Each structure stands twice: as structure tokens, then as C-alpha cells.
């Protein structure tokens, strides 16, 4: 209001023609961020009285630009915080690793494995994959964080830090890397979830018998043979991913 009263008629006409419509359009944004630029506006008002007439219009337009930048920055920050909060709510986890899979042994498998530690101590492994031959297949965690070889033999043997004697069974003893058997549907798609607890797995903890980081996830061409306790007999490796 002070600026308007101090303007000459020509300056006021330009203000009404160009600046006022912009300010009206920014009404909503101004409500959100006015406090952030109030100090700067006061400085500009003081400087305004010390300016020559030809510089006054430029000052008014500069003021509008400052408001625009401040509002945009404020809105962007709010959007980033909202997106981050939403992600945390969706995951509901303390830790999570996402492992992309590489096709091996001539397969065309593509997919990911997500391992999440939930706040209550549950650990979920979620496998989503495509181009898998229909039927049952085994999924294991293997010893080495290495999928470089074409047949995934570089992944080593199954992860078994506690030296369990059996695969997952009613006998009670099992390899920590023995995840289970999943089904690929007739279209070759897989959506499989395995659940365990932090008593067996953790992400980045100091217990080498539970920490899954530094190993690899391997999909096999066949399911485990429950009659063969010391060897999986799950066929060749069709996909491999490193757990970082």
C-alpha cells in the first residue's frame, strides 16, 4: 500500500496492468510462504524511497520474482517431504535391500528380490520375476556375492553359516540360505513371498550367522528334492543377484 501511494500516475497504471494480475494469481502461494519473504520485502520498501523514479518499476517486478522463487522452493520442499513420508509408510520397514536378478545358463529370467526387515522383527523376501519356465523352482541364498560367471557357479554353494545338516524340513535343522520353492504360472510370471524372523536373518548386523549382506540370491531350474538331505538337486541356476 505504501508503494502504491508513492507512485506517479504512469507507474501506477503499469502496476495495475502487469503486476496486480500476477499477484492475484499468486494469492494461494503467498499465503503459504509470505512469512519467508516478509523481511526481504521490508528491505525493498526502504530501498524504494532512495531510488530514482525510473528504477521503481523494476524494483516492483523484482519483488514479484522474489515471491515466486520463495514460494516455488517452499512448495518443492513440501513435496519432497511428503513423498519421503509416503515411502516410509508404504515400506513400514527398518531396513530393505532390492536385488536385481541376472539371467543365467541361457535363461531369459528378469526380476527383482526385495528383502525387508519389518519393525516387529519379521523379515520378508519378495520375489517378482518374468520369463520363468512354468512350474516349481527353488530359491536359495548362496555364499559368495558373485554372479559373474555365465552359469552362476561363482556364487558358490548354499549359505550355511550354522552348518545345518538338513534343508528346511520338519527335522528342525536347516541351511540359513534355504529359502524355499516358488511357482511360476503358465505365463512364466512369479510373485512369491517368504517370511522368516530376525532370529534367522538380518541386514547389516554384526552376526555373521544372520547377516544376509555379502551373499547372493539364486533361482534354480527345479525345486529341491526333499528326499536328498545333503544336496539340493535343484538343477542349474537360472538367475542370480548380489545382496549388497
**DSSP secondary structure of 177-230:** TEEEEEEE-TTS-EEEEEEEETTT-BSS-S-TTTB-TTEEEEEESS---TT-SS
Query: Can you give the pLDDT at residue 234?
Result: 82
What are the sequence ranges of the domains in the chain?
Answer: 2-90, 92-243
CB atoms under 10 Å from CB of 140, counted, come to: 26
- DSSP one-letter code for 156: -
- Rounded Cα distance between 99 and 196, Å, is 18
Query: Can you give the pLDDT at residue 241?
Result: 98
Looking at the domain covering 92-243, what would its CATH class be?
mainly beta
Q: Is the pTM of this model over 0.85?
A: no
- Rounded Cα distance between 220 and 235, Å, is 6
Query: Can you give the pLDDT at residue 226?
Result: 57
Cell of 236: 542349474
Cell of 40: 526481504
Q: Rounded to 5, what percent of the chain is helix, strand, coil?
A: 35, 25, 35
The parts of the chain modelled with pLDDT lower than 50 are: 4, 35, 39, 45-46, 48-50, 52-54, 67, 69-91, 169-172, 227-231
Amino acid at each position: 500500500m505504501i508503494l502504491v501511494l508513492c507512485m506517479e500516475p504512469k507507474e501506477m497504471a503499469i502496476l495495475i496492468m502487469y503486476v496486480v494480475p500476477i499477484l492475484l494469481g499468486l494469492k494461494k502461494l503467498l499465503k503459504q510462504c509470505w512469512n519467508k519473504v516478509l523481511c526481504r520485502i521490508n528491505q525493498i520498501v526502504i530501498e524504494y524511497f532512495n531510488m530514482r523514479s525510473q528504477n521503481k518499476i523494476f524494483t516492483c517486478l523484482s519483488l514479484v520474482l522474489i515471491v515466486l522463487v520463495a514460494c516455488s522452493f517452499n512448495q518443492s520442499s513440501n513435496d519432497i517431504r511428503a513423498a519421503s513420508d509416503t515411502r516410509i509408510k508404504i515400506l513400514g520397514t527398518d531396513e530393505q535391500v532390492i536385488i536385481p536378478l541376472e539371467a543365467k545358463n541361457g535363461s531369459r529370467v528378469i526380476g527383482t528380490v526385495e528383502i525387508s526387515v519389518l519393525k516387529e522383527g519379521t523379515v520378508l523376501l519378495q520375489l517378482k520375476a518374468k520369463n520363468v519356465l512354468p512350474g516349481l523352482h527353488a530359491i536359495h541364498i548362496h555364499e559368495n556375492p558373485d554372479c559373474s560367471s555365465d552359469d552362476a557357479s561363482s556364487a558358490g554353494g548354499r549359505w550355511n553359516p550354522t552348518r545345518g545338516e538338513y534343508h528346511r524340513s520338519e527335522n528342525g535343522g536347516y541351511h540359513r540360505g534355504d529359502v524355499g520353492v516358488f511357482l511360476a504360472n503358465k505365463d512364466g510370471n512369479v510373485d512369491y513371498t517368504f517370511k522368516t524372523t530376525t532370529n534367522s536373518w538380518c541386514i547389516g548386523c554384526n552376526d555373521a550367522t544372520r547377516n544376509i549382506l555379502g551373499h547372493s540370491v539364486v533361482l534354480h531350474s527345479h525345486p529341491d528334492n526333499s528326499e536328498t538331505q545333503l544336496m539340493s538337486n535343484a538343477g542349474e541356476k537360472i538367475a542370480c543377484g548380489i545382496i549388497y
